Structure 1
């Protein structure tokens, strides 16, 4: 089968995140003179005939999902009314606080200002500027000094001398080329880089593996001194540039809200912040059609624009309804999670949801990509609720893989130094809780959560006593 271009675009719209969707809609508005983006008060420059699903806050309980009702718009398009209307705020009446906030200083701005205040010669200032241009947001320098010296036609020794000056800049640790050098710079500025500490910094891999006995021999210190040194290392900043924001932070805007319903169950609504409200300007269409001959190029172009506008509104409407259906089905299956937390997450796959709402698995996969749900338990990506099933050792309902990982994490968190659980011990305790799981699966889950082995945990806990 050969899919029509508009069908391909409709399918693509399903998987777009809200930021990508807005960008797509803005591009369509630029190409189509009949399309308009509604203002905050819901009005437009002319009479409108169609409204897409920007307002769709469809109320639905987990066990009683209502289909959206029609709004009587032309061409059979659906107008969804919100149960929770956003207050109408006149344009210009509510200033944006960000407009009054001081601009955030970036790491590059901070470094440039320090270079300007340093007594460099013109040649050194040129080298410093070039080194600063290669500074990463984390504060690390990724450049070959020899190649840089060649490109600037200076000696490598001059570059190294300027780099030594830059490494004394604020924040401590910037312009390092490795983690070890970053920690060394910070320790030198604290006057704590003695031979024992130098040996510890040179063996960070052993420190990460908790080989404390070997480290005591390498550093020539006893256990108490090594513990103090370890705490000093942990107090340092491995990425000193991260304290400066190179850009505004990105916030997750949920696509779906799940709220407790006053009558019991859950109310599911689509967020108005993630769906653009599109309008078709019928006044403009009628006016231009009246002035243009029926078979002219202008009229043909206008008819195509009208068809494309209706297609886009239908596609947005379909996208909104599909997201809502998928979200409602997820809530049906994960009601226990919403009530009691991760330990009660149930196994779920794409086919189960697809069969329930009578769509293809690929549609569910597209809908759940880069979409987020706000719940009383927090904000979760829709894909979070799809986890593999772990069989029950007692023949009951299967357990969610995510819930099992949560149990393993909880067991490790309450360990004592004298009772550190091996993977075999965890398997036994899980089977006692009715979860039939293999040892290799426990090991895989533990490693995926960056939990060290029982041997490493035992060493660390005894060392920290």
Structure 2
């Protein structure tokens, strides 16, 4: 047989992750804050994407600029109704199915009726507005400001008498403060850098340590607590001995502290309570980095008929549209130009149009998938929503994936970085997925989270003279149909930072733990 080059045609199947499909998968696992940031980047990068926001998008005349009379047929809109998704979204492709990387302009979003427009849930009080009658933008609100720790300290320092040299030393000490209010730089280094004596720096430090709140400018936890106790006139020799031996308190060695401080059990309990009432990080009382408010992605409410209503939080869903009218205008201008069409510009605009169309569809698909997964979680955890954590069922990703006919990886991405607001509180979606603990009678299994709750409830209710051991807890749980090993009880107890029965008995007798 002669050897030589030849052509062969073979047919095969392969899974290809297109950039668009990768983008859709990425959007699934983003939190609402990360999604907002991603959409902002796309808005800056893509000239065909436009944001839909503002309390009155129509301007002064009160009309919607995207009404049918003003919108070209090619303009697409993403608008989520009261149920969280549009009818068009219900027909969107699932991430697990085969997806095409190109889309035409006929998306169907512009075919929505008046009910699908920018409704009252979008207009009322959301978005920016520069009108004078905006109640939330009054002058009194603009004057409020969170003061930082350094601003507070500097204002107090300027009111204290000091010469020019001390002012310079004081400013150096203020600059060395960390956000918790501790002095992070050694005094010797500050003295060397400023060319002054260490005694001068120490004297200024003593003045700064009198600034409210007490505990600022401490160089250690011991000094921070001592400053607060001195301000309360409670720094006696016994308390000083306790501060010198805080490691005994960390180990809960009450007998050792009683011996070192020379006090009885009642006095040591009062001293420990005073220590616990102090603030180990007084600097955190002042403004620092802005705290991000936890905004749930899904709301779960009880309906009038007793069923559960699941809806997406529209505040976490970016509203964007694709301006195909601008695209048509640019392409027509190119055709009319004397120089002819610019292939590079045409290719760029075509890529922008495809990218914008895909982003709109991906956002709609993401909303649909989150709502689908959340609804199944609510259906599976109905007993938890009605009766509490003791009735939380064991649940895994496979059970939810099979129920909604999706892949486990999709469910995992959907539940990552997402929260759900329920009548029981706000929980991460991952919270509802727990391991199972077998029942003694072979019946329905218990979730690990519900077992942890039962263990904590039993320990909280134990009296000081009858502390429950791990073996006793196993026996009590077995009486309620829970088949659990002693080492599992110990593992759950340690995960909840609950001391052993020996330590709890000693602490409760000393009055350091509450007894039933």
Find out whether 1:438 has 2:480 as its counterpart.
no
1:384, distance to aligned residue in structure 2 (A): 0.7
Residues in 2 aligned to 1:152 and 1:202: alpha-carbon distance in whole angstroms: 32
Structure 1, residues 77-135: CA drift from partner, whole Å, max 9, x if none? 69795999416348434332584451122222111111222223333322322222232
The verdict on how the C-alpha distance between 1:402 and 1:7 changes in structure 2, with shifts beyond 3 A counting, is same
Find out whether 1:453 has 2:500 as its counterpart.
yes
Equivalent residue in structure 1 for 2:71, among 29, 47, 50? 47
Equivalent residue in structure 2 for 1:75, among 107, 117, 121? 107
Equivalent residue in structure 1 for 2:223, among 176, 181, 185? 181
Q: Which deviates further from its counterpart, 85-94 or 393-402?
A: 85-94
1:338, distance to aligned residue in structure 2 (A): 0.6
Residues in 2 aligned to 1:12 and 1:34: alpha-carbon distance in whole angstroms: 21
1:170, distance to aligned residue in structure 2 (A): 0.9
Structure 1, residues 247-304: CA drift from partner, whole Å, max 9, x if none? 4332111100111122332111111010101111233222222211284233322221
Equivalent residue in structure 2 for 1:94, among 134, 156, 181? 134
TM-score normalised by length of structure 2: 0.82
Contact 1:38 1:44 in 2 (8 A): no
1:239, distance to aligned residue in structure 2 (A): 1.7
Residues 22-171 of structure 1 aligned to structure 2 (within 5 Å): 22-40=36-54, 41=56, 43=64, 47=71, 49-52=75-78, 54-55=80-81, 57-58=83-84, 69=90, 74-75=106-107, 81=116, 85-86=120-121, 88-89=123-124, 91=129, 92=131, 93-96=133-136, 99-100=141-142, 102-171=144-213
Superposed CA RMSD:
2.7
The verdict on how the C-alpha distance between 1:337 and 1:273 changes in structure 2, with shifts beyond 3 A counting, is same
Structure 1, residues 130-161: CA drift from partner, whole Å, max 9, x if none? 22223222222222333333333333333333
Q: Which deviates further from its counterpart, 161-170 or 319-328?
A: 161-170
1:287 is paired with a residue whose SS is helix
Find out whether 1:250 has 2:292 as its counterpart.
yes
| Paired residue total | 459
Residues in 2 aligned to 1:156 and 1:401: alpha-carbon distance in whole angstroms: 58
Equivalence for 1:63: none
Find out whether 1:328 has 2:368 as its counterpart.
no
2:440 is paired with a residue whose SS is coil
Residues in 2 aligned to 1:449 and 1:113: alpha-carbon distance in whole angstroms: 43
Equivalent residue in structure 2 for 1:353, among 400, 403, 406? 400
Contact 1:58 1:83 in 2 (8 A): no
Equivalent residue in structure 1 for 2:306, among 261, 264, 270? 264
Unpaired runs of at least 5, structure 1 = 61-65
The verdict on how the C-alpha distance between 1:158 and 1:358 changes in structure 2, with shifts beyond 3 A counting, is farther
Residues in 2 aligned to 1:342 and 1:329: alpha-carbon distance in whole angstroms: 18
1:365, distance to aligned residue in structure 2 (A): 1.7
The verdict on how the C-alpha distance between 1:59 and 1:44 changes in structure 2, with shifts beyond 3 A counting, is closer
TM-score normalised by length of structure 1: 0.91
Residues in 2 aligned to 1:59 and 1:339: alpha-carbon distance in whole angstroms: 26
Residues in 2 aligned to 1:290 and 1:67: alpha-carbon distance in whole angstroms: 30
Contact 2:436 2:447 in 1 (8 A): yes
Q: Which deviates further from its counterpart, 208-217 or 312-321?
A: 208-217
